[in-house]
Structure 1
Amino acid sequence: MASAIRGSRVGAGPMGEAERGEAIARSHVSYWCANGHEVRPSFAEEESVVIPAEWDCPKCGYPAGRDKANPPSPIKNEPYKTHLAYVKERRSDAEGSKILEEALRKLRGDD
């Protein structure tokens, strides 16, 4: 006995896409990144739709703008800092040594 839905997917019907109604009018907008990649997402042609000034390039991840001659600059990410790196920014080596000696004295019971 064969299954009636064998080989079909959810939402598929005898009419296919026409069953869902007509597609809304769309326009493609070009964006360019600093590497020269062009991205062309589509947006609905409605008054309420706001077209963004920048779009992320799917090829390199850089921000892309609508002016091909003047694309936005790539974002400079600072490298991850450890807790120790932040402490070293606030304390000098001499201060660190002094704090370490005080902590060791307390542990040894030299107070």
Structure 2
Amino acid sequence: MSPTIRSLVIPVSDLDATKAVYTALLGSPHTDESYYVGYNVDGFEVALNPAGAGGGPVAFADVEDLDATRATLLAAGATERDAPRQVAPGARVCVLADADGNPIGLRGK
């Protein structure tokens, strides 16, 4: 199974102000919490993350084996930006960076 990009996480400094803009564009969020606001756009997740470290949006690729994919990308020259962490039951994420510092998000088990 090849990785599929199904979500875009946008780090924000002012959740309420940013949420107003994205709600005007995308409609009401399906999740509206102080730690995460999520919109479903035809099966694609657009999320606002007030705890984001900045550096722009991160597209997350869904992968079968997060650890194996992470190891493959690190061996190919990627660097680690955010170590793997649990975000929901059965779901972990991490963020790597390519040679130019562009983020590469991975989401899997």
Structure with larger RCO (C-alpha < 8 A, sep 6+): 2
TM-score normalised by the shorter chain: which range applies?
under 0.3
Compute the TM-score of the two structures, normalised by the length of structure 2: 0.19
- Higher Cα Rg: structure 1 or 2? 1
Compute the TM-score of the two structures, normalised by the length of structure 1: 0.19
